[in-house]
A and B are shown apart, each in its own frame.
Chain A
Amino acid sequence: MSTVLDRFGTVADPLVEINGLTVAFDGVKVLHGIDLSVARGEAVGLVGESGCGKSVTWLAALGLLPKKASVSGNVRLGSTELIDAEPDVLDTVRGGRIAMIFQDPASALNPVLRLGKQVGEALALHGGLSGAAIRAEARRLFDLVGIPDAARRLDAFPHELSGGQNQRVMIAMALAGKPDLLVADEPTTALDATIQAQILELLTKIRRETDMALVLISHDLGVISQTCDRVCVMYAGRIIETAEAQSLFDTPLHPYTQGLIAALPPLEGVRRRLDPIEGNVPEPWNLPPGCAFAPRCPRRGEACDAGVPPLAWKAPGRFAACIKALQAEPVRPREPVYA
């Protein structure tokens, strides 16, 4: 499914709408006003390097940040405001309407509880089930996420399963509350390549079958490209480009996105020297005056230091926060694929 963005970058009838979300730790701003909306059943990718704020965005939205973080802005789930919401409101939202899974399934599961009990907990809390119905439903979920021999696995402990199987258990737990949105934070980063492919395929399959929306957070452009309809690229606490996945990878507009794609070694075609983005990501307490990417940008001009460029409309469905991004041009000419 593809979602059409209007000229203000929002989807019609959003499931979740984030407006001007900012986060600061000890007075240092790490998120500078995120605007992001997710439609029902849509798969949105959030991609960026470490420290760009892609995880913090969703931890803040779900009230999962430590107390010292000061959060402002709006996050609306339907008519419910999530920022500064009462704990009991958040309790029904988290795990019920929005579920989240993390990078390392082994540390997200309790090592001394049987898997069936852990999934059962989520079912009792969010599914309102009790007694034998819990076990039957847990078994159905295990089957759904492709855990072989589901009945026996319910009595297993996390250490008895592989990393990929544990991530399936996490997904089963996340599905227990029949959420409208699943936020997956680097769900395959700790897994092997062949297992990663299995989990991504599973997420896509579940999304199609249940019409659940998916937000996939990853540093890996390839993972995002294969799983998401729409992609938001983040840099230094801001979304700097957003577009439909295919057009973003074919014709990236922002120099940072172009740089990220050019820095990736290709798996096919002619091998050539990589074009790295020179320099480093700026520290949050030491941001340049204008565009945060300007010091590393090949197209930098004087105007770039004058102010932070807003995420602006560039073409239908395409937004970029760059005053130099004029037209869509392919970064890498398509090379012939040899047999």
Chain B
Amino acid sequence: MSAPLLQTRNVTRCYGMRKGLLGRSVEVRAVDGVSLTVERGRTLGLVGESGSGKSTTGRLALGLEKPDAGDVLFKGAAMPGTDSLAWRQMRARMQMIYQDPLGALDRRLQIVEQVREPFDVHGLGQPKEREALAFALLQSVGLRADQGRRYPHELSGGQRQRAVIARALATKPDLLVCDEPVSALDVSIQAQVINLLVDIQQELGLGLLFISHDLKVIRQVSHRVAVMYLGRIVEEGEADLLLSNPAHPYTEALVSAAPVPGRRTRPRIVLQGDPPNPAARPSGCAFHPRCHAARERCKVESPLLKPMPDGRLAACHVAHDQANFLKAAS
């Protein structure tokens, strides 16, 4: 079996945070021992609340940040150091799409010039052909030639995000990291861009790391889903299994809190309190102060991310105890 497209092994990223003007620097673990795998042609959805470390995980996966511990493997090889020649060459194989397309585009350049840039940077194709290649890419994401001649502010949000996707595809990458790619778009436009990403993946066999806070969007695009809470993965598994029958109480609360139009089929669980500050991580399981199922053990012992009988991974004492109990009973 060939190596997976992208693998992170126990990556950890810490930031120093000063408490007060003269206070001591406190170490904050934004990402704490995260192991993920993205396969070719598959999508891994990464979901969590703000501050859970999902964007940092995306940046670590691309080598935009260097992990303090653990390593990132791309096609089985270690990620070269940031800004080295080897890294820059490798970066052609992996691209990123951000939430705000206007911020990701140069407002003084025509769309087609920006889509052409990756060809120039990575020396792909003959200089004369590059513009035609750029127009072909724009066409493949549903933008007309006259729209390619426009400037970013002359396009709508959805069209801009299409332009960003076209540019990301220029180097024929194997991996796309999408950080909240549709969160800034209106519902009707969101669906257009989601369909486009799914089509592109089927056509080109891309691996996708799809970061979002929106469970509905995550479910639509993902084969597997990982849920993050305070820098750690608390549950990971097949998208349908995980979202229809969550094992971790946090996933359960997230699913039940997702606003769905029409009748709801499950009761809404409203978590009390705010997500804790990563600088003051609760003892034991970080979720225990907000968890309805928390026991004494959860306050002292941090649960490990372990496989459940149905194949998914979960980091919860209660979920594992229940699974063991059911196994013993049958």
Q: Which residues of A contact B (CB under 8 A)?
A: 49-50, 162, 164-165, 192-198, 200-201, 219-226, 246, 249-250, 259-261, 263-268, 271, 273-278, 280-281, 337-339
In the complex, 20 of the A-B residue pairs with CB atoms within 8 angstroms, ordered by the A residue number, are A192-B50, A194-B254, A194-B270, A195-B274, A196-B257, A197-B257, A198-B271, A222-B259, A226-B260, A249-B262, A250-B263, A260-B187, A260-B188, A261-B261, A264-B187, A266-B216, A266-B219, A267-B258, A267-B260, A274-B195
Q: Does the CB pair B190–A263 fall under 8 Å?
A: yes
Interface residues of B in 269-289 (CB under 8 A from A): 270-272, 274-275
Q: Does the CB pair B271–A275 fall under 8 Å?
A: no
Interface residues of B in 17-32 (CB under 8 A from A): none
Q: Does the CB pair A219–B216 fall under 8 Å?
A: no
Complex Cα distance A107/B232, Å? 31
Given contacts A162-B274, A193-B215, A267-B243, contact A221 B261 (CB under 8 A): yes
Given contacts A267-B219, A276-B192, contact A337 B258 (CB under 8 A): no
- List the count of A-B residue pairs having beta carbons below 8 Å apart: 124
Q: Does the CB pair B261–A271 fall under 8 Å?
A: no
Task: Give the residue name and chain of the B residue nearest to A280 (CB).
Answer: B156
Complex Cα distance A221/B262, Å? 9
Complex Cα distance A65/B93, Å? 49
Complex Cα distance A259/B187, Å? 10
B71 at the interface (CB under 8 A from A): no
Chain A residues whose C-beta falls within 8 Å of the C-beta of B272 in the assembled complex: 198
B217 at the interface (CB under 8 A from A): yes
Given contacts A219-B187, A265-B219, contact A164 B274 (CB under 8 A): yes
Given contacts A195-B274, A273-B195, A339-B244, contact A264 B50 (CB under 8 A): no
Chain B residues whose C-beta falls within 8 Å of the C-beta of A50 in the assembled complex: 186
| In-complex Cβ contact of A224 among B190, B219, B257, B261 (8 A) | B261
Interface residues of B in 230-257 (CB under 8 A from A): 240, 243-245, 253-255, 257
- Identify which of A225, A259, A263 gathers the most chain B CB atoms within 10 Å of its CB: A263
B49 at the interface (CB under 8 A from A): yes
Q: Chain A nearest CB: distance from B203 CB in Å?
A: 14
Q: State the 10 A-B residue pairs at the shortest beta-carbon distance, nearest first.
A: A222-B259, A276-B191, A265-B220, A277-B188, A263-B191, A192-B49, A197-B257, A49-B186, A249-B262, A274-B191
Given contacts A266-B216, A267-B219, contact A225 B261 (CB under 8 A): yes
Q: Does the CB pair B49–A194 fall under 8 Å?
A: yes
Q: Chain A nearest CB: distance from B249 CB in Å?
A: 11
Task: Give the residue name and chain of the A residue nearest to B260 (CB).
Answer: A222
Complex Cα distance A226/B190, Å? 21
Chain A residues whose C-beta falls within 8 Å of the C-beta of B263 in the assembled complex: 246, 249-250
Complex Cα distance A281/B188, Å? 9
| In-complex Cβ contact of B253 among A194, A260, A261 (8 A) | A194
Q: Does the CB pair A263–B257 fall under 8 Å?
A: no
Given contacts A49-B188, A197-B270, A260-B188, contact A220 B219 (CB under 8 A): no
B265 at the interface (CB under 8 A from A): yes
- Identify which of A164, A194, A259, A277 gathers the most chain B CB atoms within 10 Å of its CB: A194
B64 at the interface (CB under 8 A from A): no
| In-complex Cβ contact of B187 among A194, A221, A266 (8 A) | A221
Q: Does the CB pair A339–B187 fall under 8 Å?
A: no
Interface residues of B in 182-226 (CB under 8 A from A): 186-192, 194-195, 198, 213, 215-217, 219-220
Complex Cα distance A162/B275, Å? 9
Q: Does the CB pair B257–A265 fall under 8 Å?
A: no
- Identify which of A197, A222, A223 gathers the most chain B CB atoms within 10 Å of its CB: A197
Q: Does the CB pair B216–A265 fall under 8 Å?
A: yes
Q: Chain A nearest CB: distance from B190 CB in Å?
A: 7
B158 at the interface (CB under 8 A from A): yes
Task: Give the residue name and chain of the B residue nearest to A188 (CB).
Answer: B259
Q: Chain A nearest CB: distance from B17 CB in Å?
A: 15
Q: Does the CB pair B49–A223 fall under 8 Å?
A: no
Complex Cα distance A306/B217, Å? 38
| In-complex Cβ contact of A49 among B159, B187, B245, B270 (8 A) | B187
Q: Does the CB pair B187–A338 fall under 8 Å?
A: no
B268 at the interface (CB under 8 A from A): yes
Complex Cα distance A192/B190, Å? 19
Task: Give the residue name and chain of the B residue nearest to A200 (CB).
Answer: B259
Q: Does the CB pair A249–B274 fall under 8 Å?
A: no
Task: Knowing that A194-B270, A222-B260, A249-B262 touch, tell me 11 more A-B residue pairs with CB under 8 angstroms.
Answer: A50-B186, A193-B213, A193-B215, A194-B257, A198-B272, A219-B186, A223-B259, A264-B216, A266-B216, A276-B188, A276-B192
- Identify which of A221, A261, A274, A275 gathers the most chain B CB atoms within 10 Å of its CB: A274
